[in-house]
Every structure is written in structure tokens, then in C-alpha cells.
Amino acid sequence: MLARPQFRPLPRSFFDRDPRRVARDLLGTILVGRDARSLLAGRIVETEAYLGLNDPAAHAAAGRTARNLVLWGPPGRAYVYFIYGNHYCLNVSCLPEGKAGCVLIRALEPVAGLERMARNRGLDLSALRSPAQLRLLTSGPGRLCEAFAITRPRDNDTDVTDRDSHLLVAPNVSDDLPRPRILATPRIGITKAAAEKLRYIIKDNPFVSGPRS
């Protein structure tokens, strides 16, 4: 059997909580993607919480549908959806089975497998030398999915707490001290419930999505 890196993912209990807590605590953790050939890793620097039935901006607000079924399942599963005819977005389900909260992963700081990410994004490898171009790899929910080749239906319902999954979330030991400075802001790109501060970012991290200001 081929040796490959092992990761101890976050436990299921981590996701069995209020999406706001999960969204905050996911900052600094590592999204790991892998296939037979490559290992991809990125540090999560931007998330958004979606609260379920009572959150007008959440897909779950429509109730249980074929698309959002994963949201009502057990915590710690990938919810992948297709948007604007162009892009996939990655969420992780929260709360116990029967409740539909989730966290949208909005931006990563690339850690490993940057060449593969660039290829997946259709970028020239010279992009890896320019900070501005580096941002284009995984700075945005659609971009990070393309970089990690995350699609639906294949990756939908993946258990990101299973060490054997091709997509998982692992703690980042080196990030625990000092605790990243966290900022809460309004969510991006929504029209309903747009005032609530449910977007969480690592302050001053250059890989957070949106204009650099």
C-alpha cells in the first residue's frame, strides 16, 4: 500500500455547534484535498455562517430540497452547490442531524500544492511568483473550489471529519498561538439579512476575498 500523508481531522463534535461558533473557529484551520497524484492544502482565512430555516439568506430557508439535503444531515459534511452557471461553493454542515446550519468557506491562504492549484485555475505557473496573482488562486468561494477541483455531485456529502476522505479539515497546531485576530463583518453577495455580521475574517490577511482597499 502506498504511503501517503495522514491527517487527524477535526472531530465531528467541532461541527455539532452553532454555525457562528464553527465559522469563527474554522479560521486558521487547514482544508486538505487530495487525489492519487497530489496533495492540496490551504489555511482558512474567511468564512460565513448560515443559520438554517430562520436565516432568509440561507439555502435551508426554503426547507428541505433535493439540492440542500446534506444540510439536514449529520454535522461535518461538505455541502457543495453550483451558482451563477459558473461556480461551485463549498460549505460544511453544522448542528445535529435534523438542523440545517452551515459554514461557507470563502477564502484560503495556499499552503501546499500551489502548482496544481494554478493549473486547476487555468493560471500560468509564473503567477506563483507574484503576490497579486497568488491571491487569484483561492481568494473567493468559487476560486478555491476551482483550485481544489471541488464539484457537485462528486464532492457533495463528503465527510470532512474522516481521515480517509479526499476532502477534510484539519486543525492547525502552529496557528493556536497567537490566536488569529478575528473580525466579524456583514456577509458578501447576499440581499436578504445582509446587515448581520456573520462573515468572519482573519484581520489583515492578504488572502481574504474582496477588494484590497
Q: Which residues bind DNA (CB under 7 A)?
A: 48, 50, 57-60, 62, 65-68, 79, 81-87, 89, 91, 102, 104, 121, 136, 140-144, 187-192, 209
DSSP state of 27: T
Query: Is the Cβ of residue 15 or residue 50 nearer to DNA in the bound state?
Result: 50
Q: Rank residues 54 and 65 by Cβ distance to DNA and give the closer one.
A: 65
- DSSP string for 146-207: HHTT--TTTTTT-BTT-TTSSEEEE--GGGSSSPPPEEEEPPSS-STTTTS--EEEETT-TT
Secondary structure element (H or E) that encloses residue 13, with its range: helix 12-15
Judged by beta carbon, residue 20 or residue 143, the one nearer DNA is: 143
CB of residue 146 to DNA, shortest distance in Å: 7
| Residue closest to 89 by CA, chosen among 111, 62, 107 | 107
Q: Closest distance between DNA and the C-beta of residue 4, in Å?
A: 29
C-alpha to C-alpha distance for 186 and 41, rounded to whole angstroms: 27
User: Shortest approach of DNA to residue 73 CB, angstroms?
Assistant: 14
Q: Name the minimum Å distance from CB 41 to DNA.
A: 18
Q: Please, what is the minimum distance in Å from the beta carbon of residue 174 to DNA?
A: 27
* Residue for grid cell 426554503: 62
What count of Cα atoms within 13 Å lies in the side-chain half-sphere of residue 50? 27
Comparing CB distances to DNA, the nearer of 74 and 142 is: 142
- Backbone φ, ψ for residue 146 (5° rounding): -65, -40
Residue type, 24: R
Of residues 32 and 137, the one with the C-beta less far from DNA: 137
* Least Å from the CB of residue 110 to DNA: 14
Q: Give the 3-state secondary structure of residue 95.
A: coil
Nearer Cβ to DNA, position 153 or 178? 153
